[in-house]
């Protein structure tokens, strides 16, 4: 059973990524995207046969045949395109359904066994449960612990704020009726310190006025006692997933998919703190597109937007999964390279500059006016006293040097003494 679940989870991790590749192929016709999708389908077919999932085998084979037809057709048939997307949607649904079925079976197996306490489950989040009924607290702890959640139990509503301040809470479950106060009063207190924390009311009251009051004050959901376990779990997981997706969307630039500037500061503080603890070096690159204003003036802002999206997409595809791309301004980007010195970061950027995908992307979106045009400045952290502002300033100075030397190049920051020494040679 564990092997089957492991295989299914691997498919789940891949299916969103491959949907993006499928869309990219349908829009731009890039063979790289098609190859990724075909590789995924081969893996899916193999796993499905091993697990005896005949429906998935049939769907993946049909999708593969449609992709071949679409690839070989000179006139791209819209109906065939819709069929391809429909088949991938079927794969998506089948994988999700199988995961749910296997998960329910595994939970039943755990309930019927006397094994150890869920020590191998992947951590899925922290849930705060506030209720004065000890039996309810114990029941909710068992329900969510076996599904990979860490549960913090609280029977005293006046301790809630302290708990939230001292712990990372992903969701709070509150009873409406609490000693010396009620759940709505607690929600109001929570909303004063955290306006986004998901809150679910779990109460024996089915009074409509109570529900309306809870929603108006800030509850995300209201579940009546006695509750059905599977429904409770589904609603909790839906709420947490929606909250997590919102958190992700709040740190990503809506146009390019790069991380936003505010997230850059948070990430830099985090990685700088790690450096001070273990001295694992990191580098930063400041990037500016040399031709972007010319593109907007000549071709318009819509084409400019497409160039930015394509630039970031090809950049991220050439970087390592540990690297971070942030949008700093209109056509300014910052890359954070963890555990990478400035020479290594330089080689990574130049490999991207000379890549075929980058060249094709620039030419297909804006013609030869944008051919190979970005400048970059790179620096690495120097010591434990190095300030984030100073690191950025050095990268910006190196970027300015690249611009002054004719653009379309990458420069590594040199200290004034090193610069004087090089100039004297």
Q: Are residues 325 and 225 in the same domain?
A: no
Q: Taking 50 as the threshold, does the pLDDT of residue 256 lie above it?
A: yes
Q: Is residue 163 located within the same domain as residue 57?
A: no
**What is the distance between the alpha carbons of residues 296 and 292, in angstroms, rounded to a whole number?**
6
For residue 55, pLDDT beyond 70: yes
- From residue 372, give the alpha-carbon distance in Å to each of 255, 346, 350, 387: 21, 16, 11, 33
- Euclidean distance between CA atoms 233 and 229, whole angstroms: 6
Q: Confirm whether 60 is domain-assigned.
A: yes
pTM, two decimals, is 0.48
**Residue 368 domain-assigned?**
yes
Packed helices 342-353 and 301-318: angle between N→C axes, nearest 10 degrees: 130
Tell me which of 81, 111, 141 is where a domain ends: 111
**Does residue 349 belong to any structural domain of this protein?**
yes
Look up residue 84 and give its DSSP letter: H
Under the banding of pLDDT at 50, 70 and 90, the label for residue 340 is: very high
Instruction: Tell me, yes or no, whether 309 and 411 share the same domain.
Output: yes
- 93 falls within a domain: yes
For residues 293 and 409, state if they share a domain. yes
Confidence of residue 47 (pLDDT cuts 50, 70, 90): low
Contact between 410 and 376 under an 8 Å Cβ cutoff? The reply is: yes
Domain-located, residue 255: no
Same domain? For 245 and 268 the reply is: no
Tell me the mean pLDDT in the region 342-362.
83
Same domain, 273 and 324: yes
Domain containing residue 64: CATH number: 1.20.120.160
On whether both 244 and 286 belong to a single domain, the answer is: no
Residue-wise pLDDT tens digits, 97-131 = 665 655 554 444 444 444 444 444 455 788 999 99
Distance of CA 117 to the CA centre of its chain: 30
Q: Do 305 and 402 belong together in one domain?
A: yes
Of the candidates 218, 249, 280, which is a domain's last residue? 249
**How far, in Å, are 113, 159, 294, 311, 330 from residue 303 at the CA level?**
61, 54, 11, 12, 14
Question: Is 120 domain-assigned?
Answer: no
User: Which pLDDT score, from 0 to 100, does residue 10 have?
Assistant: 57
Say what the pLDDT of residue 19 is.
74
Domain at 341, CATH number: 3.30.70.270
Please indicate, yes or no, if residue 133 is contained in any of the structural domains.
Answer: yes
Strand order of the sheet with strand 324-327?
324-327, 332-338, 282-289, 374-380, 410-412
User: Does 381 score more than 70 pLDDT?
Assistant: yes
Instruction: Check which CATH number belongs to the domain holding 245 and give it.
Output: 3.40.50.2300
Q: How many domains does the chain have?
A: 3
Is 45 in the same domain as 136?
no
> 317 and 407: one domain?
yes
How far CA 28 is from CA of 158, 264, 310, in Å, comes to 57, 30, 11
User: Residue 371 pLDDT > 80, yes or no?
Assistant: no
Which residue among 51, 82, 111 closes a domain? 111
Question: Domain check: are 333 and 396 in the same one?
Answer: yes
The pLDDT-based confidence of 372 (bands split at 50, 70, 90) is very low
State which residues form the domain around 37: 2-111
Identify whether residues 172 and 244 lie together within a single domain: yes
Residue 378 lies in a domain: yes
Query: Cα–chain-centroid distance for residue 295?
Result: 30
3-class SS at 230?
Answer: helix
């Amino acid at each position: 059973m564990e092997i089957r679940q492991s295989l299914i989870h691997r498919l789940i991790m891949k299916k969103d990524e491959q949907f993006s590749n499928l869309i990219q192929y349908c829009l731009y016709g890039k063979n790289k995207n098609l190859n990724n999708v075909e590789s995924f389908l081969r893996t899916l077919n193999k796993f499905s046969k091993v697990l005896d999932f005949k429906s998935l085998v049939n769907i993946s084979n049909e999708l593969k045949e449609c992709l071949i037809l679409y690839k070989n057709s000179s006139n791209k048939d819209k109906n065939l395109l819709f069929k391809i997307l429909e088949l991938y949607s079927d794969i998506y649904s089948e994988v999700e359904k199988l995961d749910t079925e296997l998960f329910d079976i595994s939970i039943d197996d755990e309930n019927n066994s006397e094994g150890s306490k869920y020590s191998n489950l992947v951590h899925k989040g922290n849930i705060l449960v506030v209720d004065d009924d000890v039996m309810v607290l114990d029941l909710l702890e068992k329900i969510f612990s076996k599904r990979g959640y860490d549960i913090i139990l609280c029977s005293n509503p006046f301790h809630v704020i302290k708990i939230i301040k001292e712990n990372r809470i992903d969701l709070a479950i509150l009873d409406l009726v609490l000693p010396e106060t009620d759940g709505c009063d607690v929600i109001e207190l929570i909303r004063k310190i955290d306006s986004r924390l998901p809150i679910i009311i779990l109460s024996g009251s089915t009074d409509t006025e109570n529900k309306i009051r809870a929603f108006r004050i800030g509850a995300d959901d209201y579940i009546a006692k006695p509750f059905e376990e599977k429904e409770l779990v589904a609603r909790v997981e839906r709420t947490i997933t929606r909250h997590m997706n919102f958190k992700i969307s709040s740190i990503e630039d809506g146009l390019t998919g790069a991380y936003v500037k505010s997230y850059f500061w948070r990430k830099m503080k985090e990685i700088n703190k790690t450096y001070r603890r273990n001295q694992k070096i990191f580098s930063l690159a400041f990037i500016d597109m040399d031709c972007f204003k010319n593109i907007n003036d000549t071709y318009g802002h819509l084409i400019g937007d497409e160039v930015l999206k394509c630039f970031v997409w090809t950049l991220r595809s050439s970087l390592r999964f540990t690297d971070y791309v942030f949008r700093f301004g209109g056509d300014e980007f910052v890359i954070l390279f963890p555990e990478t010195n400035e020479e290594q970061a330089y080689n990574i950027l130049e490999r991207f500059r000379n890549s075929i995908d980058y060249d094709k992307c620039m030419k297909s979106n804006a013609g030869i006016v944008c051919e190979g045009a970005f400048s970059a400045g790179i620096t690495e952290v120097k010591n434990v006293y190095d300030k984030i502002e100073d690191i950025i300033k050095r990268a910006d100075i190196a970027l300015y040097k690249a611009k002054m030397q004719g653009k379309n190049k990458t420069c590594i920051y040199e200290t004034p003494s090193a610069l004087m020494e090089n100039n004297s040679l």
